[in-house]
């Protein structure tokens, strides 16, 4: 029986101080959904007996089947604590790395997080990631140390050992928090704009900066988890118990005759009870005494588990019950399964749901306590400055902070994702339950109809007429039914939303602001009209606003939705009917001065792509529609239509891919589809000429086979076709440090490029007036202070790296002309011409008189194109610097005939050609995407794991024994291209004892020349002249080339003899 209904929940919604919006985050399988079950059972939505078995929030069939969560889902719970009533909106998130985008979208809507850690496994990669995500969204967290039962039952630890082990796990968690905190403080130091008047700094050496002072000043008291503060729960979700140190302080203060507050302080830590003086003393470890925590808490716990589970001593159970003051039902007492006995006993003694919900209500903030820093972070992205917003926009900050729902406040709602439900599952489409009066009314109607029929039955003709009438009625009904069915089959999208300010009612008109909406641009347009009939698909590329009516609002109840009429600030709700207005995320507001919320940071990189097509070509429209819906419903998936006409699906990993395909087949497209083999991206790069040959012998001029060697001139000279312009380009491998820095700073580089493009646009405009006008649009064209600081920091870092790399790189900062591909990639165009001036990092650009200036963008575009698809297999380049050593332009006689097309186009293709040739003149290499795998395996199957890794060109980078167990944690790197079915193979070979977590890590050069053939004496000796082994790089390259329809050197016809018919007459 449900304890509370929606009217009660609605009533609670009106008090924001009594709302808690929280999510559960953890590594995969650490017990989030099991914990959620327990909390849900406290509301009577599921029975206590089923909690932990049902996994109520895993509502999809494949979630139940695989036993992992794939979508985050929310449920509203009621909790009473000390006569106060609370509404807890609980979101359960998935732990598998492929679905980490679901965690990001969940964390965005919350004010607090429950971090669950499996005490046996300790801190795992996703625990780290979850902590990081929570931290970067300014969310306070509490800790649940789960699966303590495993320490007793599986690992057979003693109470003291377990205590020591748990302190270590806590230290690991706190260490992660410390790291996050320190790195943020240092980063802020670097880029923060001083708002206060500058403090007089001691005039010492200017180069010396004292980093530690910033760290010491920052407040980190709220940051760490510590049991004495009451933000750590020790629990076993499966057995339904959990406690904090405070729980026991309360239970035992009478028994021990000590004040509760004192007990709270000494129960955790290095304290022990001196039996003579009856006082608590510090230094348990030093004096080899049992810590109080073990003596008072763990010993009791161990006692219970050992008696009931390990020794299965049935007679002792009533004794224990009596001691704890618990009454078990006779059914439980007689139950043959001792685990069930234990569970009902522990659930009564230390109920998990109460402990956790109490902690959530006391330790986590309500929506009203939102921090000003968090508001600023929500309102502007990393490279934007809050102060650069229009005044009206800045005013909204107060509305965020007030979290007020009075009618005069603006409505601000953030939608972090869209999720799909079956239309038939919507409350308005469900059969209604009738009240007794309505039932009576219906009965009366039926009776009347029956009587009418009876009176008519006498005349046959009438009856016949009726029959034919009913026939036609039936036909009509059938058609209607079919229509209804079709409608039912359709999916509806519900927006997962959080109201930050104001109040929404059904029927309200609100603006839908797309993710690219920028209020400062819109507010200056005086005659802005927003067409209420426009939908997302009608918008131009620079329009981001539509207008909509709120059609339905729901409370989210896990698998179900409950319709409501209005909702207020602070709550998490579902909004229906927005599918035509929102793709993935959006902001709803009553004012257009509201900025769109800053982009959600996703941890998983979508890297795995497949091409999909319908099994029956005629069903292509359904596939397209299905792909559109899939794209809308999943924040991490990307759907692309390639030039070749292929529909490509980009996903985060194998599990994610499988789920997407399932969804496409069963939910959105409802047609059979076929998917291609996974397509893996590569990168192309060049390297320094190798010093050793493949046989590990030094290469020198003597042993090389000169006959086969064509020495290529590294400096490439190209001309435009009309010979007016000459360009000299040389390609050089970029040092790794620079590539990494470029890769890391892509947001910033993109912003700079856009800025430069804009300035170029202005300079092309002839009218000076409009030039000035454009320059003055509300300061938009000046880069914000924050951005300038970021550029400064970037320049400094680059300069630092370059100065260490020797003389040839020392001028890079000044020389950078462009970055590519797509204006933000890891390749550089360097300007080393003696006479042409460019500025990239020096953001301001004066208008030049040089004739070449007009063609600069074509020049840069040529480089962009070349770096987008390299010569090896048309994949993007990475880590290549193209140094332009000369660019001449002689526009002597104007070529008006355009024999060779416009000069700008010629320059573009010449540069592209030059870059390509310069690239080919160097030793070329492929780069493979690498997964980092994290695998916990039992030592018994370690050998099998190593074998499987070796087969797939993987390598182990570290492995250590998990403390207190016989399993190893192995970290390995493996090319994505080799990783398919690895999880499956591992699971079958190790009988399910090892499951890898794979996440994109970095790009790595495959150290074999794809065109390699023996050429030194030693190599001839080893491999002979005609080598026909497998060259991994070449195999990859050829696979990509074949897929793209490029030429390979594979011979389809091996022996060109005349074909013979095989069947011979005998
Ligand atoms: N021994 C023991 N097992 C537990 C405990 N809590 C959960 N489990 C088991 O751990 C497994 C995973 O539990 P889930 O709740 O599905 O884990 P999850 O964190 O939701 O996993 P994902 O959603 O896939 O990330 C299940 O088989 C549970 O029965 C516990 O306290 N003790
Ligand atoms: Mg789960």
Q: What is the mean pLDDT of residues 191-220?
A: 52
Give the whole-angstrom CA distance, residue 142 versus residue 1053.
Answer: 67
- Asked if residues 736 and 730 have their Cβ atoms less than 8 Å apart, the reply is no
Distance 271 CA to ligand 2 centre (A): 37
525-571 pLDDT, tens digit per residue, is 766 777 777 788 888 777 888 888 998 999 998 888 888 888 999 99
- Asked if residues 88 and 77 have their Cβ atoms less than 8 Å apart, the reply is yes
- Does ligand 1 have an atom closer than 6 angstroms to the CB of 131? no
From the alpha carbon of 36, which atom of ligand 1 is closest?
A: 15
Distance 117 CA to ligand 1 centre (A): 11
Q: What is the mean pLDDT of residues 761-787?
A: 55
- Does ligand 1 have an atom closer than 6 angstroms to the CB of 28? yes
Determine if residue 954 is left, alpha or beta; phi over 0 gives left, psi from -120 to 50 gives alpha, anything else beta. Answer: beta
3-state DSSP percent of the chain in helix, strand and coil, to 5:
40, 20, 40
Residue the block writes with tokens 């200036």: 853
Burial state string for 897-932 with b = 16 or more CB within 10 A and e = fewer than 16: eeeeeebbbbbbbbbbbbbbbbbebbebbbbbbbbb
Give the whole-angstrom CA distance, residue 683 versus residue 871.
Answer: 11
Residues 6 or more apart whose CB falls under 8 angstroms from that of 100 comprise 94, 126, 129, 133, 602, 603, 604, 636, 652
250-263 pLDDT, tens digit per residue, is 888 888 788 888 88
Q: What is the mean pLDDT of residues 378-385?
A: 76
pLDDT at 410 over 50: yes
Give residue 783's pLDDT band: very low, low, confident or very high (50, 70, 90).
low
Q: Is 853 exposed, middle or buried (0-12, 13-18, 19+ CB in 10 A)?
A: middle
The pLDDT score that the predictor gives to residue 117 is 94
- Does ligand 1 have an atom closer than 6 angstroms to the CB of 63? no
524: tokens are 């200056």
Give the whole-angstrom CA distance, residue 428 versus residue 560.
Answer: 12
- Does ligand 1 have an atom closer than 6 angstroms to the CB of 745? no
Give the whole-angstrom CA distance, residue 228 versus residue 271.
Answer: 12
Residues 6 or more apart whose CB falls under 8 angstroms from that of 752 comprise 791, 840, 841, 843
Q: Report the mean per-residue pLDDT for the chain.
A: 82
Number of neighbouring beta carbons within 10 Å of residue 87: 28
Distance 663 CA to ligand 2 centre (A): 19
- Asked if residues 495 and 585 have their Cβ atoms less than 8 Å apart, the reply is no
- Does ligand 1 have an atom closer than 6 angstroms to the CB of 343? no
- Does ligand 1 have an atom closer than 6 angstroms to the CB of 147? yes
Q: What is the mean pLDDT of residues 328-332?
A: 81
Pocket mutation for ligand 1, best pick of 148, 238, 240, 352 (most atoms within 8 Å of C-beta): 238
Residues 6 or more apart whose CB falls under 8 angstroms from that of 922 comprise 686, 687, 689, 714, 731, 732, 733
49-102 pLDDT, tens digit per residue, is 888 888 899 988 888 888 889 999 999 999 998 888 999 999 999 998 889 889
pLDDT at 157 over 50: yes
Pairing of the two strands 955-961 and 715-719? unpaired
277 phi, psi to nearest 5 deg? -80, -10
- Asked if residues 827 and 881 have their Cβ atoms less than 8 Å apart, the reply is yes
β strands within 688-813, DSSP E:
715-719, 725-733
Distance 545 CA to ligand 2 centre (A): 36
Residue the block writes with tokens 């790395």: 97
- Asked if residues 166 and 234 have their Cβ atoms less than 8 Å apart, the reply is yes
- The pTM for the full model equals 0.83
End-to-end CA distance of the chain: 85
Query: Can you list the alpha helix ranges (DSSP code H) found in 428-587?
Result: 436-456, 460-489, 519-523
The C-alpha R_g of the chain, in whole angstroms, comes to 34
pLDDT at 132 over 50: yes
Residues 6 or more apart whose CB falls under 8 angstroms from that of 846 comprise none
- Does ligand 1 have an atom closer than 6 angstroms to the CB of 860? no
- Does ligand 1 have an atom closer than 6 angstroms to the CB of 289? no
Give residue 116's pLDDT band: very low, low, confident or very high (50, 70, 90).
very high
Distance 63 CA to ligand 2 centre (A): 8
SS3 state of residue 145: strand
Distance 51 CA to ligand 1 centre (A): 12
From the alpha carbon of 95, which atom of ligand 1 is closest?
A: 25
Pairing of the two strands 19-26 and 84-92? parallel
Distance 525 CA to ligand 2 centre (A): 48
The pLDDT score that the predictor gives to residue 196 is 45
CA distances from residue 500 to 21, 268, 391, 394 in whole angstroms, order as listed:
12, 38, 19, 15
Give the whole-angstrom CA distance, residue 432 versus residue 415.
Answer: 29
Query: Would the CA dihedral through 280, 286, 290, 296 be positive or negative?
Result: positive
What is the full DSSP assignment across 24-42?
Answer: EEESTTSSHHHHHHHHHHT
Residues 6 or more apart whose CB falls under 8 angstroms from that of 524 comprise 390, 777, 778
Give residue 26's pLDDT band: very low, low, confident or very high (50, 70, 90).
very high
Distance 95 CA to ligand 1 centre (A): 11
The pLDDT score that the predictor gives to residue 205 is 47
Nearest CA, atom 8, ligand 1: 31
Give residue 516's pLDDT band: very low, low, confident or very high (50, 70, 90).
confident
- Does ligand 1 have an atom closer than 6 angstroms to the CB of 69? yes
Nearest CA, atom 30, ligand 1: 147
Maximum distance among all Cα pairs of the chain, rounded to whole angstroms:
118
Find, among 522, 530, 650, the residue nearest to 593 by Cα.
Answer: 522
Nearest CA, atom 23, ligand 1: 69
Residues 6 or more apart whose CB falls under 8 angstroms from that of 616 comprise 671, 672
β strands within 399-474, DSSP E:
412-422
Pairing of the two strands 560-564 and 509-513? unpaired
The pLDDT score that the predictor gives to residue 574 is 93
The pLDDT score that the predictor gives to residue 171 is 92
- Asked if residues 298 and 157 have their Cβ atoms less than 8 Å apart, the reply is no
Give the whole-angstrom CA distance, residue 353 versus residue 242.
Answer: 8
SS3 state of residue 961: strand
- Asked if residues 668 and 689 have their Cβ atoms less than 8 Å apart, the reply is no
Pairing of the two strands 503-505 and 509-513? unpaired
From the alpha carbon of 150, which atom of ligand 1 is closest?
A: 1
Residue 598 is given by DSSP the state P
Distance 35 CA to ligand 2 centre (A): 9
Give the whole-angstrom CA distance, residue 220 versus residue 217.
Answer: 9
Q: Which ligand is nearest to the CA of 31?
A: 1
Nearest CA, atom 7, ligand 1: 31
596: tokens are 């769109």
Residues 6 or more apart whose CB falls under 8 angstroms from that of 772 comprise none
Q: What is the mean pLDDT of residues 982-1011?
A: 83
Give the whole-angstrom CA distance, residue 805 versus residue 800.
Answer: 9
pLDDT at 310 over 80: yes
SS3 state of residue 857: helix
Give the whole-angstrom CA distance, residue 942 versus residue 959.
Answer: 10
Find, among 947, 970, 969, the residue nearest to 957 by Cα.
Answer: 970
Q: Which helix (H) or strand (E) holds 128?
A: helix 125-136
Give residue 199's pLDDT band: very low, low, confident or very high (50, 70, 90).
very low
Distance 114 CA to ligand 1 centre (A): 15
Q: What is the mean pLDDT of residues 511-517?
A: 87
How many alpha carbons fall within 13 Å on the CB side of residue 136?
Answer: 18
Pocket mutation for ligand 1, best pick of 24, 26, 29 (most atoms within 8 Å of C-beta): 29
pLDDT at 693 over 80: no
pLDDT at 201 over 50: no
- Does ligand 1 have an atom closer than 6 angstroms to the CB of 94? yes
- Asked if residues 280 and 266 have their Cβ atoms less than 8 Å apart, the reply is yes
Q: What is the mean pLDDT of residues 652-677?
A: 89
Burial state string for 153-177 with b = 16 or more CB within 10 A and e = fewer than 16: beeebebbebbebbbebbeebbebb
Residues 6 or more apart whose CB falls under 8 angstroms from that of 980 comprise 654, 678
- Does ligand 1 have an atom closer than 6 angstroms to the CB of 87? no
The pLDDT score that the predictor gives to residue 14 is 86
Number of neighbouring beta carbons within 10 Å of residue 742: 23
Give the whole-angstrom CA distance, residue 41 versus residue 266.
Answer: 33
pLDDT at 846 over 70: no
Nearest CA, atom 13, ligand 1: 31
- Does ligand 1 have an atom closer than 6 angstroms to the CB of 38? no
From the alpha carbon of 116, which atom of ligand 1 is closest?
A: 19
Pairing of the two strands 725-733 and 715-719? antiparallel
- Asked if residues 53 and 141 have their Cβ atoms less than 8 Å apart, the reply is no
Q: Which helix (H) or strand (E) holds 1033?
A: helix 1032-1044
Nearest CA, atom 9, ligand 1: 31
Q: Which helix (H) or strand (E) holds 342?
A: helix 338-349
Nearest CA, atom 32, ligand 1: 147
Q: Which ligand is nearest to the CA of 655?
A: 1
Distance 495 CA to ligand 1 centre (A): 28
Total residue length of the chain: 1066
Residue 841 is given by DSSP the state S
From the alpha carbon of 154, which atom of ligand 1 is closest?
A: 1
Would you give the distance in Å from CA 17 to the centre of its chain? 30
What is the full DSSP assignment across 745-777?
Answer: THHHHHHHHHHHHHHHHHHH---HHHHHHHHTS
Pocket mutation for ligand 1, best pick of 34, 64, 146, 653 (most atoms within 8 Å of C-beta): 34
- Does ligand 1 have an atom closer than 6 angstroms to the CB of 33? yes
The β-bridge partners of 80 are 85
Angle between helices 856-868 and 746-764 (to 10 degrees): 150
């Amino acid at each position: 029986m449900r304890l509370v209904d929606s009217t009660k929940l609605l009533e609670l919604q009106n008090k924001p101080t009594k709302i808690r919006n929280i999510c559960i985050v953890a590594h995969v399988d650490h017990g989030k959904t099991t914990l959620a079950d327990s909390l849900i059972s406290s509301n009577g939505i599921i029975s206590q007996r089923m909690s932990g078995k049902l996994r109520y929030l895993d509502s999809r069939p494949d979630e139940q089947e695989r036993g992992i969560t794939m979508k985050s889902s929310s449920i509203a719970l009621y909790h009473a604590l000390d006569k106060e009533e609370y509404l807890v909106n609980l979101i359960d998130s998935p732990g598998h790395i492929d679905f980490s985008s679901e965690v990001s979208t969940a964390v965005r809507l919350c004010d607090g997080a429950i971090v669950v850690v499996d005490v046996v496994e300790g801190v795992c990669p996703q625990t780290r990631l979850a902590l990081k995500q929570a931290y970067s969204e300014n969310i306070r967290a509490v800790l649940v140390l789960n699966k303590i039962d495993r320490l007793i039952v599986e690992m057979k630890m003693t109470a003291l050992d377990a205590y020591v082990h748990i302190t270590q796990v806590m230290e690991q968690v706190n260490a992660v928090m410390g790291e996050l905190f320190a790195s943020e403080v240092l980063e802020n130091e670097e880029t923060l704009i001083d708002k206060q008047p500058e403090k007089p700094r001691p005039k010492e050496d200017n180069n010396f900066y004292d980093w530690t002072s910033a760290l010491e000043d920052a407040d980190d008291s709220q940051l760490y988890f510590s049991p004495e503060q009451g933000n750590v729960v020790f629990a076993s979700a499966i057995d339904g118990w959990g406690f904090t140190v405070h729980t026991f302080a309360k239970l035992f203060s009478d028994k021990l005759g000590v004040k509760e507050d004192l007990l709270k302080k000494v129960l955790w830590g290095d304290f022990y009870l001196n039996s003579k003086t009856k006082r608590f003393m510090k230094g348990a470890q030093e004096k080899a005494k049992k810590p109080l925590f073990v003596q008072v808490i763990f010993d009791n716990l161990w006692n219970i588990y050992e008696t009931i589970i390990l020794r299965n001593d049935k007679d002792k159970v009533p004794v224990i019950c009596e001691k704890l003051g618990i009454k078990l039902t006779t059914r439980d007492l007689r139950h043959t399964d001792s685990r069930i006995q234990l569970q009902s006993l522990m659930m009564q003694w230390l109920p998990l749901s109460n402990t956790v919900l109490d902690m959530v209500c006391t330790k986590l903030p309500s929506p009203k306590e939102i921090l000003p820093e968090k508001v600023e972070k929500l309102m502007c992205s990393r490279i934007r400055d809050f102060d650069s917003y229009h005044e009206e926009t800045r005013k909204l900050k107060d509305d965020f902070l007030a979290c007020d729902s009075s009618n005069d406040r603006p409505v601000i709602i953030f939608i972090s994702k869209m999720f799909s439900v079956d239309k038939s599952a919507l409350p308005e489409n469900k059969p209604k339950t009738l009240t007794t009066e309505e039932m009576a009314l219906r009965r009366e109607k039926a009776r009347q109809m029956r009587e009418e029929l009876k009176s008519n039955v006498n005349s046959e003709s009438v009856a016949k007429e009726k029959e034919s009438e009913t026939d036609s009625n039936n036909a009509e009904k059938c058609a209607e039914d079919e229509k209804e069915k079709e409608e039912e089959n359709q999916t509806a999208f519900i927006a997962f939303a959080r109201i930050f300010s104001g109040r929404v009612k059904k029927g309200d008109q609100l603006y839908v602001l797309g993710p690219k909406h920028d209020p400062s641009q819109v507010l200056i347009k005086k005659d802005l009209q927003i067409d209420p009939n426009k939908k997302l698909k009608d918008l131009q590329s620079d329009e981001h606003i539509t207008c909509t009516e709120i059609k339905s609002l729901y409370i989210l109840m896990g698998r179900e939705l409950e319709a409501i009429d209005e909702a207020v600030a602070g709550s998490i709700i579902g909004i229906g009917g927005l599918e035509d207005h929102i793709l993935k995320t959006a902001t709803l507001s009553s004012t257009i001065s509201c900025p769109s919320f800053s982009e959600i940071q996703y941890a998983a990189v979508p890297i795995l792509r497949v091409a999909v097509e319908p099994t029956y070509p005629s069903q292509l429209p359904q596939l397209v529609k299905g792909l559109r819906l899939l794209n809308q419903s999943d924040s991490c998936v990307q759907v692309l239509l390639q030039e070749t006409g292929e529909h490509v699906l980009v996903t985060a990993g194998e599990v994610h891919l499988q789920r997407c395909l399932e969804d496409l087949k069963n939910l959105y497209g409802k047609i059979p589809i076929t998917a291609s083999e996974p397509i893996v991206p590569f990168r192309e790069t060049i390297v320094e000429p190798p010093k050793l040959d493949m046989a590990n012998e030094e290469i020198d001029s003597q042993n090389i086979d000169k006959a086969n060697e064509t020495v290529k001139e590294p400096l490439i000279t190209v001309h435009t076709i009309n010979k007016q312009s000459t360009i000299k380009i040389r390609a050089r491998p970029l040092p790794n440090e620079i590539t990494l820095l470029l890769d890391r700073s892509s947001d910033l580089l993109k912003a700079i490029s856009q800025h430069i493009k804009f300035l170029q646009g202005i300079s092309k405009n002839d009218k000076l007036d409009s030039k000035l006008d454009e320059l003055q649009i509300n300061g938009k064209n000046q880069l914000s202070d924050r951005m300038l600081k970021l550029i400064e920091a970037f320049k400094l870092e680059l300069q630092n790296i370059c100065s260490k790399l020797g003389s040839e790189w020392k001028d890079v900062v000044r020389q950078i002309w462009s970055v590519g591909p797509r204006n933000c990639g890891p390749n550089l165009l360097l300007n080393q011409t003696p006479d042409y001036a460019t500025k990239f990092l020096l953001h301001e650009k004066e208008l030049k008189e040089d004739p070449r200036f007009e063609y600069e963008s074509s020049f840069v575009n040529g480089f962009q194109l070349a770096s987008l698809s390299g010569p090896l297999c048309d994949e993007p380049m990475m880590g290549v610097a193209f140094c332009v050593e000369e660019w001449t332009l002689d526009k002597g006689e104007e070529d008006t005939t355009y024999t060779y097309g416009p000069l700008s186009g010629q320059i573009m293709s010449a540069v592209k050609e030059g870059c390509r040739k310069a690239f080919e003149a160097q030793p070329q290499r492929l780069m493979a995407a690498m997964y980092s795998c994290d695998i916990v395996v039992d030592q018994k199957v370690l050998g099998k794991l190593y074998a499987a890794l070796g087969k797939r060109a993987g390598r182990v980078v570290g492995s250590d024994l998990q403390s207190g167990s016989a399993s190893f944690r192995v970290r390995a790197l493996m090319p994505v291209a080799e990783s398919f079915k690895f999880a499956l193979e591992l699971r079958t070979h190790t009988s399910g004892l090892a499951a890898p977590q794979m996440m994109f890590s970095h790009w790595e050069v495959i150290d074999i020349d794809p065109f390699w053939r023996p050429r030194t004496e030693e190599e001839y000796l080893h491999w002979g002249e005609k080598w026909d082994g497998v060259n991994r790089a070449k195999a990859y390259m050829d696979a990509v080339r074949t897929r793209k329809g490029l030429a390979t050197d594979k011979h389809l016809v091996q022996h060109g003899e005349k074909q013979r018919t095989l069947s011979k007459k005998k």
